Amino acid sequence: MVAPSERLFFALWPTPEVVAAIQQLQAQLPPNLTGRAMPVETWHITLAFLGQWPVAQRPALLTAAESLSMPEFSLTLDQFGHWAKPRIFWLGLSEAPAPLFELVQQLNTCLQPLGYQPESRPYCPHVTLRRDVSRIELQSLPRVTPIDWPVSSFCLVRSMASGERTRYEVVWRFEG
């Protein structure tokens, strides 16, 4: 019998003020932008994507994450980007603060003894706004009015397929 598993990731979850600011920015995008808009309730910045994870190991994940030191810091979302291969249009940071990279490194380190393999690609914090974007002229988009995102917590999130959509559920929040 296969042990039950769930699809998990650690993330920064935006405050209502950050969500409202992203919505205002998104309202300025051209109406002919290709791709599928991501629902507001899915907006986040991934810290560590775990993938399928045994349900029985969730307590060990939480214990490991609770051992981290979480300083408060702030992010500034100030640029659009597009990755052609995964066809993702995103909102990100031109300069990520050191505490964000430290938090990601701490997560990577504390999760490895549990079997987690960190990404080999450089960490690129972003909020996915659209998927299946085949082509986009970034220079034709409106200038990003910087959005300040105060960070004082991070979350463990479960990703659940629901028909054609994916729902995210915050299952644990660590307040720094």
Rounded Cα–Cα distance for residues 82 and 171 (Å):
30
Asked if 151 contacts 9 with a C-beta cutoff of 8 angstroms, the reply is no
pLDDT range class, residue 1, cuts 50, 70, 90:
low
Q: What pLDDT does 171 receive? A: 94
Average pLDDT rounded to a whole number, residues 145-163: 93
User: Which region holds residue 163: left if phi is over 0, alpha if psi is between -120 and 50, else beta?
Assistant: left
Asked if 59 contacts 45 with a C-beta cutoff of 8 angstroms, the reply is no
Tokens 């987690």 -> residue: 116
What is the H or E stretch that residue 4 is in?
Answer: none
pTM of the model: 0.94
Residues in Cβ contact with 155 at an 8 Å cutoff, skipping those fewer than 6 apart? 10, 11, 12, 13, 44, 170, 171, 172, 173, 174
Please say if the pLDDT value at position 94 is more than 90.
yes
When the pLDDT of each residue in the chain is averaged and rounded to a whole number, the result is: 93
Kindly list the structural domains of the chain, giving each domain's residue range(s) and its CATH number in brackets, ordered by start. 5-175 (3.90.1140.10)
pLDDT range class, residue 161, cuts 50, 70, 90:
confident
